[in-house]
Amino acid sequence: MSVYLDNAATTPIAPEVIEAMLPVLKEGFGNPSSAHSYGRKSKALIETSRRSIAKHLNCLPSEIIFTSGGTEADNMAFNSAVNQMGVTHIVTSKLEHHAVGHTAEHMKSDAVRVSYVNVCKKGNVDLKDLERLLQYEDKTLVSLMHANNEISTLLPIDKVSELCRKYNALFHSDTVQTMCHYKFDLKALDIDFIAGAAHKFHGPKGIGFLYINKDRKADVLIHGGAQERGLRGGTENVYGIVGMAKAMDLAYEDLLGHKNHVQELKTYMINQLKEYFNTINFHGETAPEKSLYTVLNVCFPKNEKSSVLLFTLDMKGVAVSGGSACSSGASKGSHVLEGIGADMERPNVRFSFSRLTTKEEIDFALDQVKSVFEKTLA
């Protein structure tokens, strides 16, 4: 048996999404910028998909800009804020995805400074410290992810939005991990930018989007064509866009049902691990109301196989990721775990689930984890 529990990295593409994409791959080859019938057909597919996505998010179709994924979307938001809206102060955290953290550092200059809001050991943003940082006179962009991709802690996004508006700051949230896992009402949520990537919700890789509030001015990210209202030059990824819209349709068919199913699996795994291990910790928040239900980061007891735990589990048929990037040959561990003061000497493993995950798979994974530690705990 082989079990995939690394859905925070990417999800398997849904069969229905493949079915929706196949006709476009076979017959919808027209360039959307062409004036003939082939081109018009492709253009219609793009705009139908854009309207569908906008409907799910309760925003205007014109507020959705298609990108190659979440990283590009985040970059576009930062470029727009700094180059078009005069931002001179970026407020973010040390726990953000590199798509935000590295971009913020890249934007740093004599004209733009970067501040980091305090976070607690569970990864929660200190809202009082955020308010302190917002009291400067600078034009500010706040960029805080909706849920941490490694430790699952959820941001109180409404409260952050209220603070940003109180101090006339722009607000960007990397929602890549939470898109299609939670309902977004962008007419109710006062926010300027959010990002999505299809491969995080059973869609194809290489396609995503940026929501840009209609009251904000976007900056051209890729020059060379008039596509995406002149903001992103280059022939559109038509079949990817169609696949992303279909994946979102599937997610929204039963958003609550999917959430309940996955949360039940996560809670079950937490309880089983607590029952088996005397000393086990969970990074980030685990309470359902404070935690992204698709992610569980576990700090296991140290043993002789700690350094090769991910490899050992993979050999036993369980695909997971580490809290540390060292598992991929990098010289430095996870900046997120480091940022919350985690014990980097102990093995940290991120299990991440999807609506396709079953209890039988969780039981298999638990059995393999136990087999690695059975001698240590004997």
Q: Is 38 exposed, middle or buried (0-12, 13-18, 19+ CB in 10 A)?
A: middle
Looking at the structure, give the CATH architecture of the domain made up of residues 15-253.
3-Layer(aba) Sandwich (3.40)
pLDDT in tens, 244-270: 999 999 999 999 999 999 999 999 999
Query: Where in the sequence of the chain do the CATH 3.40.640.10 domains occur?
Result: 15-253
Q: Is 51 exposed, middle or buried (0-12, 13-18, 19+ CB in 10 A)?
A: middle
Q: What does the pLDDT average to over 201-215? A: 98
Q: Is 304 exposed, middle or buried (0-12, 13-18, 19+ CB in 10 A)?
A: exposed
Query: Where in the sequence of the chain do the CATH 3.90.1150.10 domains occur?
Result: 3-11+254-377
Q: Which residues contact 148 (CB under 8 A, 6 or more apart)?
A: 95, 123, 177, 284, 292, 295, 336
The rounded distance, in Å, linking the Cα atoms of 150 and 7 is 11
| Residue pair 203/243 in contact by the 8 Å Cβ criterion | yes
User: Looking at the predicted structure, is the pLDDT value of residue 200 above 60?
Assistant: yes
User: What pLDDT sits at residue 247?
Assistant: 98
Q: What does the pLDDT average to over 104-129? A: 97
Which residues sit opposite 325 in a β-bridge?
A: none
pTM, full prediction: 0.94
Look-up of token digits 């014990």:
343
Domain 3-11+254-377 in CATH: superfamily? Aspartate Aminotransferase, domain 1 (3.90.1150.10)
User: Looking at the predicted structure, is the pLDDT value of residue 362 above 50?
Assistant: yes
Active site residues: 326
User: Looking at the predicted structure, is the pLDDT value of residue 323 above 60?
Assistant: no
Tokens of residue 303, six digits: 């043993």
The rounded distance, in Å, linking the Cα atoms of 244 and 199 is 8
DSSP 35-103: SSHHHHHHHHHHHHHHHHHHHHHTS-GGGEEEESSHHHHHHHHHHHHHHTS---EEEE-TTS-HHHHHH
Nearest C-alpha neighbor of 155 from the set 172, 133, 132, 140: 172
Phi, psi of 166 (to 5 degrees): -60, -35
Q: What does the pLDDT average to over 105-133? A: 97
The number of residues in the chain equals: 378
Cβ atoms within 10 Å, residue 94:
14
Q: Which residues contact 257 (CB under 8 A, 6 or more apart)?
A: none
User: Looking at the predicted structure, is the pLDDT value of residue 330 above 80?
Assistant: no
The rounded distance, in Å, linking the Cα atoms of 324 and 332 is 8
Tokens of residue 294, six digits: 């698709």
Q: Which residues contact 178 (CB under 8 A, 6 or more apart)?
A: 146, 147, 154, 292
User: Looking at the predicted structure, is the pLDDT value of residue 309 above 70?
Assistant: yes
Query: Which range among 173-182, 186-195, 326-335, 369-378 shows the weakest confidence by mean pLDDT?
Result: 326-335
Q: Output the CA–CA distances (angstroms, integers) from residue 72 to 174, 232, 276, 323, in the order listed.
A: 11, 10, 42, 24
Q: Is 91 exposed, middle or buried (0-12, 13-18, 19+ CB in 10 A)?
A: buried
Q: Is 201 exposed, middle or buried (0-12, 13-18, 19+ CB in 10 A)?
A: buried
Average pLDDT, the chain: 94
Q: Is 152 exposed, middle or buried (0-12, 13-18, 19+ CB in 10 A)?
A: buried
CB-facing half-sphere around the CA of 329: CA atoms within 13 A: 0
User: What pLDDT sits at residue 137?
Assistant: 84
The rounded distance, in Å, linking the Cα atoms of 13 and 7 is 11
Q: What does the pLDDT average to over 165-190? A: 98
User: What pLDDT sits at residue 378?
Assistant: 46
